[in-house]
Amino acid sequence: MCGIAGQARAGGAPVAAETIARMCAAQVHRGPDQRGIHVADGVGLGIQRLRIIDLEGGDQPVANEDGSVVVVLNGEIYNYAELREELLRGGHTLATEGDTEVIAHLYEEEGVECLHRLQGMFCFALWDSRRRRLFVARDRVGKKPLYYSARGAELSFASELQALLQDPAVPRQVDPEAIDAYLAYGYVPAPGSIFRGVAKLPPAHRLVYEDGALTVERWWRLDYASKLEVGDVEELHERIREALRTAVRRRLVADVPVGAFLSGGIDSSAVVTAMAEQSAEPVKTFSIGFADEAFDELPRARRVAERFGTEHNELVVEPDAIAMLPKLVRHYGEPFGDHSALACFYLAELARGQVTVALNGDGGDESFAGYQRYSSNLLAARLDRLPAGLRRAIAAGASGGEGADPRTLRSRLARFGGRLGAGRERRYLDQVNVFDAAARDALYTSDFAATVAPGSADGALLGPWREASGATLLDQLLEIDASVYLPGDLLAKIDIATMAFSLEARSPLLDHELMELAAAIPPEHKARGTQRKIALRGALRGRLPDEVLDGRKQGFELPVARWLRTDLAPFAREVLLDRCGAERGWAEPAAVEALLDEHVAGAADHGRRLWSLLALELWAQQTLDAAPEPALAVA
């Protein structure tokens, strides 16, 4: 796990090693163990390495035998040992025992198609000096990030935005439509970024830059069209268990201590189960809890830890965690509104005290249908058969019925009824939006609204919806979440939080073979009525406590609504109504103040919206208002 950076220039124009070094220094937290830089005509590659495998011999950049192919890698190639043996039998000479060198030699054999042979989480950059080609690729699911800026005869890239900005040629003009997308989703979806002229390489995409010519294309996607024939359900359950065991086994390979995040939910518990089955020593587990029992999963996490005899560690997060916010905002580089990132930072800090690698349960909901919105969408789709007039009447009757707590049955029914009059796509957009289109219109100043094309934010989901391969509504929803929400929110959250503390996070449920199996499971074995994760629960029945398998889904949420009515209310008001924020001209101060007043009074729950606005304003203060920092000094 590392941070990479680099620059390529057309015509062999020189690249300054000092620029590459500054880009590396800005992400030293991703890899404090080693810095490596390769500079040649027209290219510079840099790496900050966190040593996980081949601790002594695996430093980067790594080259092939004659030095014509050079690679830097962020991530892990889990099947590198098998590939290495194959390459050795084919006559290649490998100088290291690590995974990065395998990429260089595999590229010699198969060119850019070598990607299909790699199992793992990765983003790598490869320089082919014979073709004067920069080849950059991101893993199938999007575990490892990459920002880049292409400016005709020059391209720069880095694992994190603040590292990319160490190149003075990278543009820094805020994109209004990125702010609009951020307020819609709580993050800026790929390929966009908060700055015009800066892009994120989407998951499962590769970038090729040859003397000024840039090509970006997709190289893999999940197939939801082909389905398994399920005759014996227990046989399906065993296939899931075996795929999970294999995925976990691949991710236990390390030359450093390994542990696991344990929330007490099904997904992380499933991972710990498979780890305990395959580990000679007790698994080290780490959990975060809250004083508010409605959000606290520590009791269930303890139950799982006791069952498998883990070395369990806990931390209760309190509202004074606000002290972590500036660090959180700084590390994400662009606005990021998922408030559970705060808990992830504390969890990563807790784990890093004992381990260098932590396995987690990310991906289970998107593969096996764990979110409540899947059930509500399936029910709403059935009600679409009702006459339009009746659906409109139900929607009208439900409007205004939502209470101050969105978690109550009354609030959920009100939201469900209010969406019945919308089409499937709009219904889903309204579910996942932080500020829906109407709420954003009410928030913006007229000048700012004029800079945003109507409906521009919708394209992040409507585009993948149109391209979805699944024939059923559930498969379409799963595909959209796996391609947009998962990498844009969840994986970005965990990557930045863990890398801030030089901790490598591995996600067995994001193993692409396990995901391909899940995509092929018929939808009725994933969600039916109010039941969700049907096949996964069945596969784990008897292995996990029933209270974990049958308990209400909690999710990794913080009690921010309560915090923003109590301990954090003065801080939020001070930040959000700051004069500089008002002068930005994005939001009407009166509209922001109304959200604060309604929330504190308990008239409505605007916790998620206020947190998103708070993260945006803190980002603007740190990035746009602060005096320019001096260039990083590098050795």
Query: Which residues share a beta bridge with 137?
Result: 124, 206
Picking from 98, 204, 492, the residue whose alpha carbon sits closest to that of residue 331 is 492
Q: Which residues of the chain have pLDDT under 50?
A: 409
204: left (phi over 0), alpha (psi -120 to 50) or beta: left
Q: Per the omega criterion (within 30 degrees of 0), is the bond before 61 cis?
A: yes
Residue 279: how many other CB atoms lie within 10 Å: 17
Strand-pair partners of 71: 62, 126
Please state whether beta strands 62-63 and 43-49 pair in parallel, antiparallel, or not at all (unpaired). Answer: unpaired
In contact, 30 and 499? CB cutoff 8 Å: yes
Q: CB-hemisphere CA count at 13 Å for 172?
A: 15
| H helix or E strand, kind and range, residue 594 | helix 589-601
Contacts of 552 (CB under 8 A, 6+ apart): none
Q: Under CATH, which number does the domain 233-368+479-549 receive?
A: 3.40.50.620
Tokens matching residue 421: 């009059």
Q: Report, as residue numbers or ranges, the catalytic residues.
A: 2
Same CATH topology for 2-218 and 233-368+479-549: the answer is no
Predicted pLDDT of residue 324: 79
pLDDT at 635: 59
Task: Enter the CATH code of domain 2-218.
Answer: 3.60.20.10
Residue pointed to by tokens 């990310």: 362
The encoded tokens of residue 250 equal: 């691949």
- CB neighbour list of residue 458: distance below 8 Å, 6 or more residues apart: 184, 429, 437
Distance CA 162, CA 282 (A): 39
- The confidence score (pLDDT) of residue 206 equals 98
Please state, in angstroms and rounded to a whole number, the distance separating the CA atoms of residues 4 and 159: 6
Domain limits, the chain? 2-218, 233-368+479-549, 372-472, 560-625
Taking the C-alpha atoms of residue 617 and residue 611, their distance in angstroms, rounded to an integer, is 10
Nearest partner of 614 among 261, 228, 341, 281, judged by Cα: 341
Distance CA 399, CA 429 (A): 18
Rounded to whole angstroms, the Cα distance separating 393 from 420 reads 9
Residues paired with residue 72 on neighbouring β-strands, in sequence order = 125
Look at the chain and count its residues. 635
pLDDT tens profile 21-67? 999 999 999 999 999 999 999 999 999 998 887 777 788 999 999 99
pLDDT for the residue 411: 55
Strand, helix or coil at 269? helix
**Residue 195, beta-bridge partner list:** 174
What distance in Å separates the CA atoms of residue 231 and residue 579, rounded to the nearest whole number? Answer: 65
| pLDDT given for residue 17 in this prediction | 96
Q: Compute the C-alpha angle 145/149/155, nearest 5°.
A: 105
pLDDT at residue 633, as a whole number:
60
Cβ–Cβ under 8 Å, residues 278 and 252: yes
